[in-house]
Structure 1
Amino acid sequence: MSDMLNRDQFANDVLSRYRKLTSASGLLEKSARSDAFAHAASMPSTGHPHFMHLGLGESGHCYGVSVFIDLVAFTSRTFWEEPEKVLRLNTAVMSQVAEVVQSCGGYILGLRGDGVFACFGDRNVRDPKVSAAFSMAACAFALDAVRNALNQLLEQSGMRPVQIRAGADYGRLDFVRIGSHEASEVNVVGFSANFAAKCEKFAHSWEVVIGEGLADLLPGDHYDRHKDSPKTYQQSYLTRHYHYHQVKWATYLQHLGGLREGLSGGSVGSIIY
């Protein structure tokens, strides 16, 4: 299937989700509420499957690419537009972006507000360049599909277009279950995940910004040094610099079909070398 057809399918699926959410926004019958609750309870939760077994206070780690894909200027939309309309559009777009991440071999670690937090990598990945390539392919497809297909469809439907951006970095990711015995979750701790979140904030609409840990895994002609780089960190009498870069993400669109076929529906760790 061509990139254009995939792109159009993404846009159509988002609009279809939006319309289903609109039709379901009213109060459900008692039996329907019960069925919906049972269905939701059976659905898999977010998180890295290799670390969901952790007990309270237990931890584990792997190396991988942390990715944040975020809707831009959605806070402003929640101020001006009807809350339910914004909620449905947010849900439809981010749900579809999450499916793109999964189809490219990533794990959904969290869905927060108007963004997706994902990880590409686990203990089975022998070559981190594989995780790097698939993470950038996912970001590229998401940005391209929203800008060049979804927004056209939204405007045709009388809706304002949306904008997205992405940030990512590579490094060690520590997973730890925190909370209490009554309520807990597995959180991700580590510099690369924190810096990936910062990269997402550095990015403007339609940009993918990455840290130097990830840049080291990509071909040098696939990115440019960010104009505001580096980020400076100081502790006691020490000063260190960490660079970040802007990815030429359109480069990855031409490789997307082959990359996704290589996965056969699995994660990047399932690839046989």
Structure 2
Amino acid sequence: MAARTREQFAQAVMRRLDDYERGTVRKSLALAGADTLQASAASTSPLGHPEFADLPLGASGKIDAVAMFLDLRKFTARSFWDPPEQIIRVNVAVISELASAVEQHGGYVLGFRGDGVFACFDGAGRLDSRAVAGVAVGAAAWALDAVQNALNGLLELSGIQPVQVRAGLDFGRLDFVRIGSPSGGSEVNVLGFAANFASKCEKAAKAWEVVVGQRLAGLLPAADLTQHPQSPTPYTRHGETRYYRFYDVALGKYLRHIQGVAHQLDGHPVSAVQIR
């Protein structure tokens, strides 16, 4: 996934919206032959982490990585009022390009969860965890900025209600497990506290905010962090209570530093970044 500006991101979303509005996507699928459709599917990047794509049923693997959730805020309420066709158009267009933004900044898209993108950033043991954390937060900052300051203006000009985006991240062990039935389908599921807590951070974030869990916060400069008003989260078992904190991140510095990273990566994962 080549580097793009936020304006190019916004234009890509609008092209997707126009295609759906004109029915171009449906007509293309209807007219395409089986061979064309198979070739198109083969050229599409598969979801998931490539290291675990070939896990057999019941097998697992693990990495230490940053887990990220990018989510369209207040989209459930919007779907209550707006026609389903419009919800589908906006959801597919924005979420698809958010996924592309993750990939262009070196992340792996692990799946789509309702109104959001689930992803991870993995240094593969070659890149310091602090650098991986910085790139992941920067990628989230870039995505929020592209929507807020480039896409939403075009949506308003087109008579479409602007969207709101938020992000939650944490760092830790991610376990990849292939789950399914020997006689049916299966998929690689991602388990672990880091992924679960990143999801909680996303739910705690307001629009245009990035909230991170305690382990990821430990990899970032303390000056960039403010403890979230709802923090900490208590966990109690067998009479013992432990606390896990989460933080709002000031995004200005990360947005500045992420500029040029996608160009340097040139479609490669974040582990390809060279630190000198």
- Verify the 8 A CA contact 2:123 2:129 in the aligned structure 1: no
1:163 maps to which residue?
Answer: 164
SS class of match (2:187)? strand
User: Does structure 1 conserve the Cα–Cα contact (< 8 Å) formed by 2:178 and 2:188?
Assistant: yes
- In the alignment, the residues of structure 1 paired with residue 27 and residue 62 of structure 2 have an alpha-carbon distance, to the nearest angstrom, of 43
TM-score when normalising by structure 1? 0.93
What value does the CA root-mean-square deviation take over the aligned residues? 1.9
- Secondary structure of 1:136's counterpart equals helix
Q: CA deviation at 1:251?
A: 2.0
Q: How does 1:66-81 map to 2 (within 5 A)?
A: 66-81=67-82
1:12 correspondence with 2:11? yes
Cross-structure match for 1:123: 124
Please report how far the alpha carbon of residue 262 of structure 1 lies from its aligned counterpart in structure 2 after TM superposition: 3.4
Q: Find the aligned partners of 2:273 and 2:30 in 1 and give their Cα distance.
A: 45
CA distance in 1, matches of 2:20, 2:171: 35
> How far apart are 1:261 and its partner, in Å?
3.5
Q: Give the superposition deviation at 1:73.
A: 1.1
State how far apart, in whole Å, the 1-side matches of 2:85 and 2:39 are.
22
**What does 1:1-273 align with in structure 2 at a 5 Å threshold?**
6-23=5-22, 24=24, 30-32=30-32, 34=34, 37-42=37-42, 43-181=44-182, 182-273=184-275
State, as a whole percentage, how many aligned pairs show the same letter: 47
In the alignment, is the contact (CA less than 8 A) between 1:139 and 1:249 conserved in 2?
no
Q: CA deviation at 1:36?
A: 6.1
Unaligned runs of 5+ in 2: none
> Is the CA contact 1:18–1:89 (under 8 Å) kept in the aligned structure 2?
yes
The SS at the match of 2:234 is strand
Residues 30, 211 of structure 1: alpha-carbon distance in 2 compared, 3 angstrom cutoff: closer
The answer to whether the Cα contact below 8 Å between 1:124 and 1:270 also exists between their aligned partners in 2 is: no
Q: Please report how far the alpha carbon of residue 35 of structure 1 lies from its aligned counterpart in structure 2 after TM superposition.
A: 5.8
Residue 95 of structure 2: SS of its match in structure 1?
A: helix
1:125/1:268 contact within 8 Å kept: no
C-alpha distance in 1 between matches for 2:155 and 2:31 = 34
Name the aligned partner's letter for residue 59 of structure 2: E
Alpha-carbon distance between aligned partners in 2 of 1:61 and 1:188, rounded to the nearest angstrom? 9
Q: TM-score, normalised by structure 2?
A: 0.92
SS at match of 1:255: helix
Q: Is the 8 A contact 2:62 2:174 kept in 1?
A: yes
Deviation string for 1:52-85 (max 9, x for gaps)?
1100010110000000000011112211111111
Q: Is the 8 A contact 1:212 1:243 kept in 2?
A: yes
The one-letter code of the counterpart of 1:61 is K
SS of the residue corresponding to residue 52 of structure 2 reads coil
User: Residue 209 of structure 1 contacts residue 246 of structure 1 at CA under 8 Å; is this kept in 2?
Assistant: yes
Distance 1:150 1:102 in 2: 19
Offset of residue 268 of structure 1: 1.3
Moved more, 239-248 or 262-271: 262-271
SS state of the match for residue 160, structure 1? coil
- In the alignment, the residues of structure 2 paired with residue 235 and residue 215 of structure 1 have an alpha-carbon distance, to the nearest angstrom, of 25
Please state how far the C-alpha of 1:7 moved relative to its aligned partner. Answer: 1.8
* CA deviation map 1:21-57 (0-9, x unaligned): 2223656675426466324531232101111110001
Tell me, which stretches of 5 or more residues in structure 1 are unaligned? none
Count how many residue pairs are aligned between Structure 1 and Structure 2.
270
